[in-house]
Amino acid sequence: MKLGINAGVVLLGSLLTFQLMAQSDTIEKSFSLEEAQKFAVDNYYQSKNASLDIKSAKWKVWETTAIGLPQVSVSASYQHIPGDIPAIDFGSELAVIFEPLAEAGILDPNAIPAGEPSAIAVRNSLTYTATVSQLIFSGEYIVGLQASKAYQGMSAEASERTNLEIKASVAEGYYSLLILKDNREAVVKTLKNLQDNLVRMQKMYKQGFIEDTEVDQIDLVVKTTGNELASMDRQIEFLENMFKYQIGLEPQTKVTLTEAIDDLIARNLVNDSNYVFNLDKNIDYRMLSTQERLMELSMRREQSKYLPSVAGFYQYQDKTEKADFDFTINHIVGVSVEVPIVTSGSRIAKVSQARIEYEKALNQKEQEANRLVTAARQASYDYHTAVEKYTNALDNLHLSARVYEKTNLKHQQGVVSSLELTLINNQYLQAQMGYSMAVQELLTAKTKLDKAFNLL
């Protein structure tokens, strides 16, 4: 029995420990809309990759810059001669020339040179070389350096555009979740009233004041509304998971939205006549301008291949072991010049292709400029329409709420039937859904308006 008690204590302690560990793994975070957007920009996967692209572009600039900086290389080679060492006997060679002169008495025989053969190689030798080179002039290098810096600017602009897309996406997710939770509160309130009516009518039925069809009608509405509430709970859970994914949170994190839907609506009801569209501030237009610059530099790069390239170098070479006669030159300084002459038209073809791509970039930029201006106007029109729909939906909601409250009161007094109450209840819920859709459309239209005018 004692062992059983001890085992139970151990099991209980293990369960408590596991529960505490599970609770410690659950992280709670609260976000306003601005805080959620900032968190997403710092933590979402696409934003992280965009930041890495900027770092990669910086290294690309340095890679291109390094081509024009001094280059230093060191090399070494070892050689071994396994057989006989080659040699030259200069004494024997000269004796053949001078002996006839000595025999003729013209030259003293003792003056004829004699000596050991001279080696022209060594059995083991290590040759080491150090070379320093410097690019002096290259049109292709100059243009390439400009292109790498433009590419870096393109990466920064792409990151900015990604962040704008993330902010817009987070705003829509934040709005959807908040609106759905607000709808849930309205449905819960309606369900509570219906349940109270059902209880009251069940008592009246037992007392014989009403027929069972009246009770069944309200019971059906209660069950339908309850099913709708359960469906909304599942939608809220799904949207919460999607929202956590959008901003880069772990799935087990518990999220609380601190903004009130009414405050968001009030902030987004603005006078858009104060909005002034500036094409040069639009991120899409700026990216196309950078793309145009890159295409221009690509054309200039092909044109620069007509120019010569000049490089200078210094080389030092020596050996660890040298033969009697060694012709190694230790110090060499030189300049190399490469002049392109004939390429059978391939260079002209490349320049022509690059020029066509540049002209296409100009056309695309002009087309996008017109589209962006039109899109900004359309965003303004859509916002006006959304404001009007919101105003009408709000009026309809207030009107439906008043009708429902009066009808519910009359139903309690026995003046109206359960069927009529059901119809009014459905009408009120439809007005609530219409209002929610109008709010969603208003907030989404405002987000698109800010994005079009680069104010997000």
Domain segments of the chain as ranges: 27-68+138-305+343-452, 87-120
Q: Are 135 and 68 in contact (CB under 8 A)?
A: yes
Least confident of 74-78, 147-151, 322-326: 322-326
- The 10s digit of each residue's pLDDT in 423-434 is 888 888 889 889
- The 10s digit of each residue's pLDDT in 194-208 is 898 888 888 888 888
CA angle (90, 92, 94) in 5-degree steps: 65
The model carries a pTM of 0.75
Nearest of 141, 143, 144 to residue 310 by alpha carbon:
141
Q: Are 141 and 135 in contact (CB under 8 A)?
A: yes
Question: What pLDDT does 204 receive?
Answer: 83
Question: What pLDDT does 30 receive?
Answer: 93
The mean pLDDT value for 40-59 works out to 87
pLDDT at 167 exceeding the cut of 80: yes
Q: Which of 58-67, 184-193, 290-299 has the highest mean pLDDT?
A: 290-299
Question: What pLDDT does 24 receive?
Answer: 47
Question: What pLDDT does 212 receive?
Answer: 86
Q: What is the mean pLDDT of the chain?
A: 85
Question: What pLDDT does 92 receive?
Answer: 58
H or E element at residue 403: helix 346-412
pLDDT at 333 exceeding the cut of 50: yes
Question: What pLDDT does 23 receive?
Answer: 47
| Phi–psi pair at 294, nearest 5 degrees | -65, -40
Q: Say which CATH topology domain 27-68+138-305+343-452 has.
A: Outer membrane efflux proteins (OEP) (1.20.1600)
Query: Is the dihedral angle over the CA atoms 268, 271, 272, 275 positive or is it negative?
Result: negative
